Amino acid sequence: MSDLRAQTHNFGAGPSPLPTSVLQEAQGALLDFAGTGVGICEVSHRGKEFAKVIKDAEAGIRSLLAIPATHSILFTQGGGTTQFASVVLNLLAYHAQKPKSTTRPTSLNVSPPKMDYVVTGTWSKKASTEAHRLTELLNPHNPTALLNVVANTKPSGYTNLPRREDYNFSPKGEAAFVYYCENETINGVQFPEGTEEEGSFPFDLVPEGTPLVADFSSSFLSRPIANIDRYDVIYAGAQKNLSPSGLTIVIVRNELLVDANDPRTPIPIPEILSYKTLADSGSMYNTPPVFPIYITALVVKLLGETGGLEGKREVNDRKAKALYEALEKGVEKGVVELNVAKEARSWMNVVWKVAGGDEGEKRFLAGAEAKGLRQLKGHRSIGGIRASLYNAVTEYSVAQLIDYINEFVAQESK
């Protein structure tokens, strides 16, 4: 490892740091993969060498998360943003094609279904906007589906989570799906891990039979996913904890894999966005993102060898707690502002502001850069400071950041 890499602490929100040992192994594979004399970026995605890579990546993810056989794992492209549309198209198709229930009025199969969105930050807001735009664009006079915002924390500036009484799910049989974002990268808001903590997602309030969809992009493989068998679709951009950008993981219940060409489908689904097409082709309907999948296979292997997700949860929990404790001391000194409610704080993306407005922020960032603390500037849409604590960010790097925060607070509070 180069001296410069050892002295640099990368807190970027994505693309994120990758384990140094993985990058070192990949260096050799770029020139000669598996003794073939051909680099990993040059091998055929149809060849036996890559077939083993994608098989290992899938098996590793399935094992780490204990994904049941009822669900398929897909490797696709376009980032989480493409899934905003894919979810709508595939889930509306499933809703239209599933057998009519004898326990609900037939008219519900004809009337436009609802799409239930929980909006807790920038990404869930973007997802709901795309859902509304897509259905209105295709049929502006008779929308294919109707957007129902189940809960919305925008009035708080996306700094908290909905209370149980805030949720307004559509009645049983009326919604094609329920959608939420488990961790909001930009706003630093995350649902608690379990089901009993304040702010936890209310699985029990989701009507029986309504598919549940979740964006896990920023926390995927940072800890186990509670109630994983309750989800019908989970997707995650892999550039946070798994690989370089260019790969998205989709976990989908097999029941939802419906034919894109079925005449009952209310919206045409491009083949490349069809979950069934991807599943039937083993994620090789077209050329997949070979290198990111290769890196993913290496990362999941490393996770399995180093304590699995239970071990990773413990490390990530320590990192987040230590950083928040340091920031709380800065709050007491009047140098730091922590606006996200405690029960809603993300342990992957920690956001805060410093006193002094833009000038204070510039001083903080300049001092951080001088110490090798990189990519701490908050998202351009909200400003401030953001430290992303993904799996490859070491406890040593977090300790270096905490030391600098303590130093900055002491200097600014004189």
Per-residue pLDDT of 250-269, as tens digits, reads 999 999 999 988 888 878 89
Instruction: Kindly report, residue by residue over 368-389, the tens digit of the pLDDT.
Output: 999 999 999 999 999 999 999 9
Cite the active site residues.
123, 215, 240
User: Running DSSP on this structure, what letter comes out for residue 62?
Assistant: H
Q: Indicate whether 392 pLDDT > 70.
A: yes
Which residue has tokens 């490859």? 392
Instruction: Kindly report, residue by residue over 119-152, the tens digit of the pLDDT.
Output: 999 999 999 999 999 988 877 777 888 999 999 9
Considering the chain, what percentage of its residues have pLDDT values greater than 70?
Answer: 97
Instruction: Kindly report, residue by residue over 209-220, the tens digit of the pLDDT.
Output: 999 999 999 999
Are 95 and 176 in contact by the 8 Å Cβ rule? The answer is yes
Task: Residue 218: name the closest of 199, 197, 238 by CA.
Answer: 238
Alpha-carbon Rg for the chain, nearest whole angstrom, is 22
Q: Indicate whether 168 pLDDT > 80.
A: yes
Q: What is the mean pLDDT of residues 243-253?
A: 97
Q: Check residue 102 and give its pLDDT.
A: 41
Domain 49-301 annotated CATH 3.30.1130.10 = no
Q: Indicate whether 109 pLDDT > 50.
A: no
What pLDDT band is residue 196 in, cutting at 50, 70 and 90?
confident
For the chain, give every domain's residue range.
49-301, 308-412
Burial of 283-294, coded b for 16+ CB within 10 Å and e otherwise, reads: bebeebbbbbbb
Task: Residue 244: name the closest of 411, 23, 2 by CA.
Answer: 23
Contacts of 396 (CB under 8 A, 6+ apart): none
Task: Enter the pTM of the model.
Answer: 0.95
* Topology given in CATH for the domain delimited by 308-412: Aspartate Aminotransferase, domain 1 (3.90.1150)
* Cβ neighbours, 10 Å, residue 151: 21
Nearest-10 Cα torsion for 256, 261, 265, 271: 70
Q: Check residue 143 and give its pLDDT.
A: 83
* Cβ neighbours, 10 Å, residue 130: 17
Task: Residue 95: name the closest of 191, 172, 175, 13 by CA.
Answer: 175
